[in-house]
Amino acid sequence: MAEPALPDIDPGPAGLAVSLRGVTKVYDSGVTALGPLDLDVQRGEFVSLLGPSGCGKSTALRLIAGLSAPTSGTVGVSHRAGDERGRRSIGFVFQEPTLMPWARVRENVRLPLKLARDPVAEADARVSEALAQVGLAEFAGAFPRELSGGMKMRVSLARALVTDPDLLLMDEPFAALDEITRFRLNNDLLALWRSLRKTVIFVTHSVFESVYLSQRVIVMTSRPGRIGAEFRIDAPEPRGEDFRTSPRYASQCRQVSNALAPSYAGRPGA
């Protein structure tokens, strides 16, 4: 089955990377998962989608990636998010690393380039670069079973980066990791973003993670997911532990948490 085509958008003077207009998603079961949703994301922006389980965060990400089609509305991705061969350059990091257990790290990272039939020498160079970017250059010959959970997620991130995408979509990639590993990966992701200036849309359940990472936090309502609130995160760059322990961070987390609270009201276990 062919993937649904995403319309290009003219980035124009505003420099839009993604534009959603009146987007809804109704599944075959009759469940309305999303919308109507309107959202613009600027090129080079780091945006987090925050909300309760089932509010449509991951659905929105899949629509932007072109892995699913909206029931109504339009999903536009800038034509700049594509390479010279017309392939849309979107990297996707899923909740689980989804690595091939029989393949070494380098082959797991090489997979998108192999599927695209890129020249071997070019692919080798790009795999080496991506592994260096995530701090795993010395583990290129390892198997997934030899890696920790955090290292496996780094491999997944390298696989998303190896095509040099303009747009990086991340669906709760650090949710299953311990707190120390999660903090370290948050810091490393921010360093990569500052260096590479990709457009990042990051899905999370964590108020603290969203405020620490993002330039903008989109708080979504319970199903069907809509934008309930939006926060511009005012923080000095580069961010680090000084920000994480600052009164400003605590205040912004409190504001975001207060906006999120109505989405959990009346939910089982709330």
Average pLDDT of span 103-108: 98
The confidence band for 3, taking pLDDT boundaries of 50, 70 and 90, is very low
What CATH number does residue 225 fall under? Answer: 3.40.50.300
**Among the listed residues 223, 237, 164, 236, the one whose alpha carbon sits nearest the alpha carbon of residue 29:** 223
Residue 135 lies in a domain: no
Q: What is the pLDDT of residues 93-102, one digit of tens each?
A: 999 999 999 9
The side-by-side arrangement of strands in the sheet containing 8-9 is 8-9, 72-78, 16-26, 32-42
| Residue-level pLDDT at 220 | 95
For residue 91, the model assigns a pLDDT of: 94
Q: What is the pLDDT of residue 88?
A: 53
Are 36 and 73 a contacting pair, CB within 8 Å? yes
The pLDDT of residue 168 is above 50 = yes
Q: State the pLDDT at residue 81.
A: 47
Count: domains in the chain? 1
Does 163 fall in a domain? no
Asked whether residue 47 is domain-assigned, the answer is yes
> Count of CB atoms within 10 A of residue 135's CB?
15
Q: 125 lies in a domain?
A: no
pLDDT in tens, 27-76: 999 999 998 999 999 999 999 999 988 899 999 999 999 999 999 999 99
| pLDDT tens digit sequence for 173-227 | 999 999 999 999 999 999 999 999 999 999 999 999 999 999 999 999 999 999 9
* Domain ranges, residue 47: 13-81+182-262
Question: Residue 195: inside a domain, yes or no?
Answer: yes
- Residue 8 belongs to some domain of the structure: no
Are 41 and 47 a contacting pair, CB within 8 Å? yes
The pLDDT, as a whole number, for residue 264 is 73
| pLDDT tens sequence across 122-150 | 999 999 999 999 999 999 999 999 999 99
Q: Across residues 251-266, what is the average pLDDT? A: 87
Per-residue pLDDT, 13: 45
What pLDDT shows up at residue 1? 39
Categorize the per-residue pLDDT at 2 as very low, low, confident or very high, splitting at 50, 70 and 90.
Answer: very low
State pTM to two decimals.
0.91
Say yes or no to pLDDT of 246 above 90.
yes
pLDDT for position 15: 86
- Asked if the structure places residue 53 within a domain, the reply is yes
CA angle 95, 156, 116 (to 5 degrees): 115
- 235: confidence class by pLDDT, cuts 50, 70, 90: confident
β-strand pairing of 72-78 with 16-26? antiparallel
Report if residue 141 sits inside a domain: no
Q: What is the DSSP string of 133-184?
A: HTT-GGGTT--GGGS-HHHHHHHHHHHHHTT--SEEEEESTTTTS-HHHHHH
